[in-house]
Structure 1
């Protein structure tokens, strides 16, 4: 009997959020979710911190100058278990589509760069955090932990996600490859900052990182990339000519790549909002793996191995005696960030050591 492989249509977003407006951005997200589902997509992927928008102010001036946006940014970041979060989960269920949302997650008094994977039933598959915020992002966000480098078994195959320059972290990528990832979401904020003056921040390098991830990991890669709107520039730059030279309108370069590195989506112009689509046939992965599987037959574990520690980095561990079990500390309502992997591979893979 020939084994079946999932075949489905996927969509990746190229659009600006309603900047610093959580409810407005969720309204827009639901519209995009409905559009993707109407076009037959079973998966839709959103850019990095699309809710409520990437905090471009951290790149435009000093931290002291950027403080004018901080309270508004916190107030419009998503709290899991809240009414806005429930709206998003309901949209996934109502449209029978998996949603991978990039968001600024608010937990207690801290923010994290999150990716929320919601299945077609509206259930949380994972709520991961970016392991290491990049450069000035660390003035805003906290860090994730080893549990955030996990691939999850779903009805659409084995799905994983990383943010932005996590795709320039070789060991983090290898940790994902070793878990037999089949569909990867590579979320990017926009490529409209410092145009021409910082090549490493541009579309060429970063789209290349998404393409290489597809080739190295032999998986499909959805690379949603946001745009910067004129309204965002007005909010952040005002009439300051220097800032307006740093942050430009547009910057969207969304793409979808096959396991052999081909771009299989039709591109949109960088300033145009919309969705890009591709047909994903997971049976193609076997052909790519036959050539080179860096965490399998193409590995040399006797020479190099990865140590992957998935221990959750809980900030507070509450312990209590059994006799006092009825006295518990109140904890914020949110979905379990560290859902169990339904088919863990890294724990048994000969080239990955998990402690």
Structure 2
């Protein structure tokens, strides 16, 4: 049944700013999804180790302020460095259980010096291989105070049974040209990952589905002030300034006709599981295909730079 894919939307909270403990929660969700015979599991944006909620609670743009510098350093220390093997145990679980994974992480990559962080969407296939790392192209608003802008290297799609799956982080889902790049690669199952909440997912999920005639899965995190670990730097100040709910979820699925399959799920932790049928994609592409029969590449065409960006390029003149 290559046309059927059982998917799990993991709507969970992080152990905020704690890489190790949050990865343990990710593993628990993968094992739970595998027991339900899920073939793809998706986690929210920046789940590991969590979204930088402190920026709106501490005057994040105030220059040279101790609380912001110390929290940023704590954040960077708990970021994911894939080259150092931080995701090896996740990859092994994917392989053991033949389950593909989209995981939102805060990445501290060596190829950009190892000191700045990126909101990255990592795709691990069912054989446990990291096949793409998409660094968010444009951090949104106060995110720019802690995240760096990414590049086009992660604008990739992946075969999963009959489906071709790709994904974007949060508000870059609103960017028409990155969406078009994925459509042009044949995407028909679009993954949108979010920190939460339903105010993000309730409109764009159906819009992308209708525009692309694809399935769209949006997955959000949960977060309340009670999820702040007490050993977080400046815990008392953060707790005092935070609202009760920082992210209420809103994970959902829209079909290729733009209608809800699973409406946004609010304030509920756990896996949201559903089986989708690829044949619905062909049915809806009959009347509209944005990069096929309903396109005019002789009039408008997109050029995409997928080179991984770096500050330096070393040329070895002694190489033959």
TM, length-normalised to structure 1: 0.80
Per residue, is there more strand in 1 or in 2? Answer: 2
Q: 1:188 aligns with which of 188, 191, 194?
A: 194
Partner of 1:243: 241
TM, length-normalised to structure 2: 0.88
Q: Which runs of 5+ in 2 are unaligned?
A: none
Could you tell me how far 1:60 is from its partner in structure 2? 2.2
Q: 2:226 aligns with which of 205, 208, 231?
A: 231
C-alpha contact (below 8 Å) 2:102/2:123 kept by paired residues: yes
Q: 1:89 aligns with which of 88, 91, 102?
A: 91
Q: CA deviation digits over 1:279-337, x for unaligned, max 9?
A: 111121111111111222222334433222223323221110245x7xxxxxxxxxxxx
Q: CA deviation digits over 1:222-281, x for unaligned, max 9?
A: 111101133335757736787334x6255111112211122223654x222111111111
Q: CA deviation digits over 1:196-246, x for unaligned, max 9?
A: xxxxxxx2453211221112122211111101133335757736787334x
The 3 A distance-change label for structure 1 pair 49 and 205 is closer
How far, CA to CA, are the matches of 1:6 and 1:318 in structure 2? Answer: 46
Partner of 1:288: 284
Q: 2:216 aligns with which of 200, 218, 221?
A: 221
| 3-state SS in 2 of match to 1:109 | coil
Partner of 1:172: 178
| 3-state SS in 2 of match to 1:113 | strand
Partner of 1:346: none
How far, CA to CA, are the matches of 2:46 and 2:162 in structure 1? Answer: 24
Tell me whether 206-215 or 108-117 shows the greater mean CA deviation.
206-215
How far, CA to CA, are the matches of 2:84 and 2:182 in structure 1? Answer: 30
Partner of 2:201: 206
C-alpha contact (below 8 Å) 1:237/1:243 kept by paired residues: no
How far, CA to CA, are the matches of 2:240 and 2:293 in structure 1? Answer: 52
Alignment length (residue pairs): 308
Partner of 1:347: none
Q: 2:82 aligns with which of 68, 74, 80?
A: 80
| 3-state SS in 1 of match to 2:307 | coil
How far, CA to CA, are the matches of 1:229 and 1:291 in structure 2? Answer: 44
